[in-house]
Amino acid sequence: MDEIRTRDPIALFQEWLADATASEPNDPTAMTLATVDAEGRPAARIVLLKGVDPRGFVFYTNHNSRKGQELGTHPMAALCFHWKSLRRQVRIEGPVETVTPEEADAYFKTRAHISQLGAWASDQSKPLDSRDTLEARLEAMRVRFAGSEVTRPPNWSGYRVLPHRIEFWRDQPFRLHDRIVFSRTQEGWDTERLYP
């Protein structure tokens, strides 16, 4: 992997993602998102990548969800992509910012109608007494928005992880794996190889 040390890590990630899209049977954009709460306790869950460009890596959620609250308290995150079919992994770390309302509105409009209604119906991460309650709330949203556009809820938006560190990992025989780390500097990116 020495040939990638001079590459732009975002462009390299996009190439690896394209490879994963062609080979992964399900959800090539699935990534583990790790956050910490006010006491520094970590939490991790799988979310879907919805955009990547030189600014960073974007996903969407409810600001009132557990991850939304944790990012509101500590706007730092780590992401991990694992593409088993390719035997590759990418780890990303950095601060987090909220996407612009225009970006959030544009993405929300691309969601399936039922998913738009679900964003209104769900009190994400809050206790739910029964599935019937969720389905009743969803039906109430169907009635509320019948015949009209479903607008984005004010507590639903996106987050962009601004990468300060990106590690590319590739499986090799006998656990002698390749690991290259890109670290952001004021001039661009520094790279180094790590022991497996």
Enumerate residues 6+ apart whose C-beta is below 8 A from 101: 157
Question: Residue 129: how many CB atoms within 10 A of its CB?
Answer: 7
Q: Is residue 160 flagged as an active site residue?
A: no
CA–CA separation, 57 vs 50, rounded Å?
Answer: 8
CA 146 to chain centre: 31
The catalytic position among 7, 88, 175, 179 is 175
What does the DSSP assignment read for 56-122? EEEEEEETTSHHHHHHHHS-EEEEEEEETTTTEEEEEEEEEEEPPHHHHHHHHHHS-HHHHHHHHH-
CA–CA separation, 178 vs 120, rounded Å?
Answer: 44
Sign of CA dihedral 23, 24, 29, 31: negative
Catalytic annotation, residues: 175
